[in-house]
Chains A and B, each alone.
Chain A
Amino acid sequence: MSDSEKPYLHFPKWANKVPVIVATVGGLLTVYVIVLLGYGANARTLNVGYAPVQPVPFSHELHAGLLGINCEYCHTDVKRAGYAALPPTQTCMNCHAEIAPKSKKLAWIHKSYATGLPVPWIKVNDEPDYVYFNHAAHVNAGISCLTCHGHINEMTRVYQAKPLNMAWCLACHRDPAPHLRPRNEVTNLQWTPNNKARLAHDLNLTVATLPKNLGQYLMKRYKIPSTKLLTDCETCHR
């Protein structure tokens, strides 16, 4: 057997295509995985839309929307406490001692009122425990409920409306001006800056003296801290 007859390994002809195929399929797969993760694992997909079934089917659409009850009627502490408290059962009983007193939907309210134990509401908008969030600081700076909670007055069952992830928080902390409004309109979910007469009344100005740039004006008036401070680690993680 001569050397020329030894069984050399011959690449078949299709082997020429292998690098091309590997590069194409590998490239496509990489792009696909990146798209899949970016789309599927982002905060907007994971966080928004969480709507737990509550022990009492309380409808914000009815109470805050149709009946026009101000947020602060129940959430009385939003402007003075860091923690926006859920109302005590007494607040429900303010009206429901007389309205719909025997409704089965209120079973938990009656139980809580009789025993003194709280209704086990399920928290919807829940920040991680290493985040320091102060409600009063935001509300008193002219940040509306709407900014973080969405149109609560249209929700039959409350759902998380915003991603509430760090990038989302920072977007506003880097440039708060467009999100500001007069302090006494924060709970007004239908507020619009276009109602000049109302705006002038809110700011104790006249229509003629209204600032051209409302956001920048409120930044100064409410002494909103600098972006440097607002984006400092210690501001939210303390």
Chain B
Amino acid sequence: MVNRVLIIGSLILAALIPLAVIALRRNEHSPTPRFHIMLGMDKMAYRKPQRPSKFFADGRAMRPHIAGTLARQDFIYNNEAQMRLTPNNWKLDHVVLNTRHKYERVLLGQVLGGGQGRFITHIPIPVTKALVHRGQQQFDIFCMPCHGANGRGNGLVNQWVHKLRQAGSPDAGTWVRPTDLTSPAVTFLPDGGIYSIIVNGVAGMPAYKDQIAVVDRWAIVAYVRALGLSGKAVSAARLPVKVRASLAAGKKH
């Protein structure tokens, strides 16, 4: 009788082992690939973006840009249709880059000619409330890490590197504190100049032309202008006529 209890008991215990292993497996992170019960058509021969391929010598399925050539979308990049295809279905109305002049102003932020470019002084696309909001959103993605949410140059990355430097870590490298975007160094720049810095970078700041779409660059310029004005008294003469009128009527803004 005792024997039988022992046998059944150990059988039950043995039966619990696989369950325990599964429970453990469910709660740990494993560097081994997932276990495929049936591979089926999970892996097919066709190529997906950013995957390896044995077909090409460099092992890439995606082909890099060949020097001296243009990708197909480069031909249409500058027309209105493509400008509309900016992130989030953002629509940019009334901007048709059908002349060389408009093209230079919107894409380069400059007026070329005479062998020397001049930065344009005003944002070449309609500045609306929506554009400034878009600018804030894009600023918070691409600029805020270093320049900070208020643009004063003390973003979290700057604070992090500051801590590293205080701890004597070599990881602090050659970092310099980012420019205060509300300082005269920026507020006195023409709009095209700020745009150009976003496109080409300056000093320690890298170029962002590959990461930020054209419209979004101008949206950021608009937002940087707003930051430059924030926290500062603005002469009533610079306000739009409508706003001045409603202020005079005693309405709050």
Chain A residues near B (Cβ < 8 Å): 32, 35-36, 39-41, 44-53, 66-70, 72-73, 76, 79-80, 83, 85-86, 88, 90-91, 93-95, 97-103, 116-118, 120, 123, 128-130, 140, 157, 159-160, 183-184, 187
Seed contacts A70-B144, A102-B173, A129-B48; 10 additional CB < 8 Å A-B pairs: A51-B29, A51-B31, A53-B31, A68-B144, A73-B211, A83-B48, A91-B211, A99-B175, A103-B171, A128-B42
Q: How far is the CB of B82 from chain A (nearest CB, A)?
A: 12
Interfacial chain A residues near B37, Cβ < 8 Å = 41, 46
Q: How far is the CB of B77 from chain A (nearest CB, A)?
A: 13
Tell whether A40 pairs with B87 under 8 Å between CB atoms, given A67-B157, A85-B49, A130-B44.
no
Tell whether A98 pairs with B175 under 8 Å between CB atoms, given A48-B26, A51-B31, A67-B156.
yes
A44 with B46: CB separation less than 8 A: no
B29 with A73: CB separation less than 8 A: no
A100 with B211: CB separation less than 8 A: no
Identity of the chain A residue whose Cβ is nearest the Cβ of B15 in the assembled complex? A32
Query: What is the interface residue range for chain B against chain A?
Result: 35 or more
Q: How far is the CB of A182 from chain B (nearest CB, A)?
A: 11
Identity of the chain B residue whose Cβ is nearest the Cβ of A81 in the assembled complex? B49
Residue interface mask B181-219, A partner, CB < 8 A = 1: 000000000000000000000001010001100000000
A47 with B174: CB separation less than 8 A: no
Interfacial chain B residues near A46, Cβ < 8 Å = 34-35, 37
Interface residues of B in 130-152 (CB under 8 A from A): 137, 140-142, 144-145
Bound Cα distance A80, B170 (Å): 38
B34 with A50: CB separation less than 8 A: yes
Question: What are 21 A-to-B residue pairs whose CB atoms are below 8 Å?
Answer: A44-B26, A45-B26, A48-B26, A49-B25, A49-B26, A53-B31, A70-B141, A80-B87, A99-B157, A99-B164, A99-B171, A99-B172, A99-B173, A100-B170, A102-B173, A117-B59, A120-B52, A129-B43, A129-B46, A129-B48, A140-B89
Tell whether A47 pairs with B170 under 8 Å between CB atoms, given A40-B22, A98-B175.
no
Identity of the chain B residue whose Cβ is nearest the Cβ of A29 in the assembled complex? B15
User: Is B88 an interface residue when CB atoms closer than 8 A count as contact?
Assistant: yes
